[in-house]
A and B are shown apart, each in its own frame.
Chain A
Amino acid sequence: MNEIPKRTIVQRFHLVFVFWLVVFLICLIGSSIITGVNLDLLVSNISQFFELLKQMVNPDWGYSRYIIQPLLETIQMAVIGTSLGTLIALPFSFIAARTVIKNKYVTSVIRFFLNLMRTLPDLLLAALFVAIVGIGPVAGVATLTVFSFAMISKLFYETIETIDFGPIDALTTSGANKMQVIVFAIVPQVINQFISYFLYTFEINVRASTILGYLGAGGIGVFLQRSLSSFRYDQTAVIIIAIFVVVLIIDTLSNVLREKLR
């Protein structure tokens, strides 16, 4: 006890920290080179960016009556996409939950599949579905269905795994089968959380659906693309403000409902 504790070389020179710093700096410099960072260009041309912003500050309000219909279509796409995705996700979330299926191999395979699905970004799915079903809102619905399926199934199976086992054991010992256990022991415990997650996914889908149309998958994004490609940034501004209002309304409604579910 009367010795000063000796520090190892690693501790004395903070080697762990230095190691991470070096790794970080290499990544940073490497990234700058690969992405062709050019600050001179940025400084000399940033005025063009602000020029566009300036055009956006004067929105073409007359345009707003043309975008109400596509905005509604966007919400319709989100409602159907989220609902279909949830319907498909339900059986998967029960199979992926270790509290329902005791076989580790089954749950692991399902989870691996769900993880792979979740890696695909929304716009990428939209591009694929536009190629499959053609330009239009159906491609958007399909995109949102797959996207919410991947997200909901994970949220759901994690919820199912946190439940209380008492009711399950009680039902199992009194001779209930798997289906009865799910309906009478699991569902009542998770239903509120499920609805809450459903609303949360719906919020995300409303945001996502506003840009899907950029690739032709219906909704307001189609008009966003049109206004951008015709350089009508005053119309773009109206669309962005409209998206903002819709997202705000949906988020507020959804938050109120989710508060009630608590």
Chain B
Amino acid sequence: MKKIIKNPKYNWLIWGVIIIAIYVWSFSGIEFSGIKDSAGEVTNSIFGGLFNPDWAYTYDGSGEDLVNLIIQTLAIAFLGTFISAILSVPFAFWAAHIKKNSSKFRSQTGKIVLTIIRTFPEIVLAIMFIKAVGPGAFAGVLALSIHSIGMLGKLFSEALENADYGPSEAITSAGGNHSQVLFFATLPTVLPEFLSLTLYRFEIAVRSASILGMVGAGGIGTPLIFAIQTRSWSRVGIILIGIIVMVTAIDFISGILRKKLV
């Protein structure tokens, strides 16, 4: 770019034209006239539902109430994150470019594989697992455990790349073999960081688990999408409040734990 533009004075002009072109193109593509007439009314109903939630739904002992499904959502996120944290470790070692002389090709292929996993939409994975094990929370767990590898593997591999290799070199020079280096130097050095990253991913997984139900993979998403489709806004209200409280609480607890770790 720099070579084409000789005079830096006109840089801003070129950027201005590019930016205006992007916006003109974007606004030309979206049909803004298609908003339903009832939009204002529905918005009011949603806020009405938020302020007059269906408290009876909170707990009715049927197992399909808010508290039960929130716990199920958390369980999906917890188990999914746990499995994916374990599965991510080998991927992280594959993708991490640790020593200067280690194979660049190996770490590059690992990074590409992780990018592919990360881009594969979670919802599609969930639907594929629903085809295999049937609708329900288990499909959600499986989808989360595979999808999270993409992000956790990347974060883990970066932690490995930035780790302090003094201890490993010390063990190597004292005659330790590969597995001893791994178990007594590398893993203890990176473990707090790995745990902290896993907790961070758990926060994201809680959000994912609460929407996976929209395609039938268990958790609070299923009753939410039903409530929206049947326009029972007080039910939508109580579920939204449930999700907001759950996510806020988890973020808060996870934040405290992560501060302790690092």
Within 8 A of A (CB), among B133-180: 133-134, 136-138, 140-142
Chain A residues whose CB sits within 8 angstroms of the CB of B42 once the complex forms: 131-132
CB distance from A149 to the nearest CB of B (A): 16
List the B residue with the shortest CB-CB distance to A38.
Answer: B138
Q: Tell me if B187 counts as interface (CB < 8 A to partner A).
A: no
Q: Tell me if B9 counts as interface (CB < 8 A to partner A).
A: no
Chain B residues whose CB sits within 8 angstroms of the CB of A15 once the complex forms: none
Give bound CA distance, A83 to B25, whole Å. 14
Instruction: Provide a sorted-by-A list of 15 A–B residue pairs whose CB atoms are within 8 angstroms.
Output: A35-B140, A79-B26, A115-B248, A123-B211, A124-B243, A127-B214, A128-B228, A134-B36, A137-B30, A141-B30, A214-B215, A218-B30, A228-B124, A228-B127, A236-B124
Partner of B231, one of A41, A48, A131: A131
Chain A residues whose CB sits within 8 angstroms of the CB of B247 once the complex forms: 119
Give bound CA distance, A136 to B231, whole Å. 19
Knowing A28-B79, A31-B79, A49-B129, the reply to whether A138 touches B138 (Cβ < 8 A) is no
- Tally of contact residues, B, Cβ under 8 A: 64
Docked-complex contact A128 and B71, CB < 8 angstroms: no
Chain B residues whose CB sits within 8 angstroms of the CB of A36 once the complex forms: 136-138
- Tally of contact residues, A, Cβ under 8 A: 58
Chain B residues whose CB sits within 8 angstroms of the CB of A38 once the complex forms: 133, 138
Chain B residues whose CB sits within 8 angstroms of the CB of A28 once the complex forms: 78-79, 82
List the A residue with the shortest CB-CB distance to B207.
Answer: A121
CB distance from B94 to the nearest CB of A (A): 20
Add 9 more A-B contacts to A49-B128, A116-B244, A228-B124 (CB < 8 A): A34-B72, A35-B138, A119-B247, A124-B224, A131-B46, A134-B35, A138-B35, A240-B120, A244-B116
Docked-complex contact A211 and B243, CB < 8 angstroms: no
CB distance from B201 to the nearest CB of A (A): 15
Docked-complex contact B46 and A37, CB < 8 angstroms: no
Chain B residues whose CB sits within 8 angstroms of the CB of A42 once the complex forms: 132-133, 138, 142
Chain A residues whose CB sits within 8 angstroms of the CB of B120 once the complex forms: 240
List the A residue with the shortest CB-CB distance to B140.
Answer: A35
Q: Tell me if B53 counts as interface (CB < 8 A to partner A).
A: no
Docked-complex contact A35 and B30, CB < 8 angstroms: no
List the B residue with the shortest CB-CB distance to A127.
Answer: B228
CB distance from A244 to the nearest CB of B (A): 5
Partner of A35, one of B27, B79, B211: B79
CB distance from A216 to the nearest CB of B (A): 11
Docked-complex contact B29 and A34, CB < 8 angstroms: no
Knowing A80-B27, A132-B42, the reply to whether A121 touches B244 (Cβ < 8 A) is no
Chain A residues whose CB sits within 8 angstroms of the CB of B243 once the complex forms: 119-121, 124
Give bound CA distance, A28 to B79, whole Å. 7
CB distance from B15 to the nearest CB of A (A): 10
Q: Tell me if B22 counts as interface (CB < 8 A to partner A).
A: yes
CB distance from B40 to the nearest CB of A (A): 9
Within 8 A of A (CB), among B18-49: 22-23, 25-27, 29-32, 34-36, 39, 42-43, 46
Docked-complex contact B128 and A123, CB < 8 angstroms: no
CB distance from B146 to the nearest CB of A (A): 10
Give bound CA distance, A35 to B124, whole Å. 20
Q: Tell me if B254 counts as interface (CB < 8 A to partner A).
A: no
Q: Tell me if B190 counts as interface (CB < 8 A to partner A).
A: no
Docked-complex contact B248 and A31, CB < 8 angstroms: no
User: Per-residue CB proximity of A42-80 to B under 8 Å, as 1/0?
Assistant: 100110110011000000000000000000110111011
Q: Tell me if A247 counts as interface (CB < 8 A to partner B).
A: yes
Docked-complex contact A49 and B26, CB < 8 angstroms: no
Give bound CA distance, A204 to B42, whole Å. 28
List the B residue with the shortest CB-CB distance to A49.
Answer: B132
Nearest 10 pairs of A and B residues by beta carbon: A35-B137, A31-B75, A119-B247, A76-B29, A134-B36, A34-B75, A79-B26, A123-B211, A76-B26, A31-B79
